[in-house]
Amino acid sequence: AQTVTQSQPEMSVQEAETVTLSCTYDTSENNYYLFWYKQPPSRQMILVIRQEAYKQQNATENRFSVNFQKAAKSFSLKISDSQLGDTAMYFCAFMKHLNAGNMLTFGGGTRLMVKP
């Protein structure tokens, strides 16, 4: 079974600065997919960014980018120019390739506070 670990329960950052959230995972699979989800106080889960394990290039979505280190089984999220609206819980998630149910395994989350 896969496990996903987010070692930082809480983090804070000043508005306009950059912050990096950590995620590590344990798998014996070679092909898989990784995701970051954001959960603001509204409780809605929002997909932030995704990465295919077979792609070496790190994914980028506007102010959000990842540092994917396959050998180290690490998938960190970098948020640049942090905004107050980035305050949320962030969850890292893993999915095996050719997974019959397309099931995601989630980490425990990191609570991010952006301070004005």
Partner 1 sequence: NAGVTQTPKFRILKIGQSMTLQCTQDMNHNYMYWYRQDPGMGLKLIYYSVGAGITDKGEVPNGYNVSRSTTEDFPLRLELAAPSQTSVYFCASSKIQVQIYGYTFGSGTRLTVV
Report the site for partner 1 in 28-47 (rule: CB under 8 A): 33, 35, 37, 42-45, 47
CA distance 44 to 36: 14
Is residue 4 near partner 1 by the rule CB under 8 A? yes
Long-range contacts of 68-73 (CB under 8 A, 24+ apart): 68/34, 72/24, 73/24, 73/25, 73/26, 73/27
Pick between residue 16 and residue 46 the one whose CB is nearest to partner 1. 46
x/- binding map, residues 45-64, to partner 1, per CB under 8 A? Answer: x-x--x-x------------
Q: Summarize as ranges the residues that interact with partner 1 (CB under 8 A).
A: 4, 6, 9, 33, 35, 37, 42-45, 47, 50, 52, 91, 95, 97, 100-109
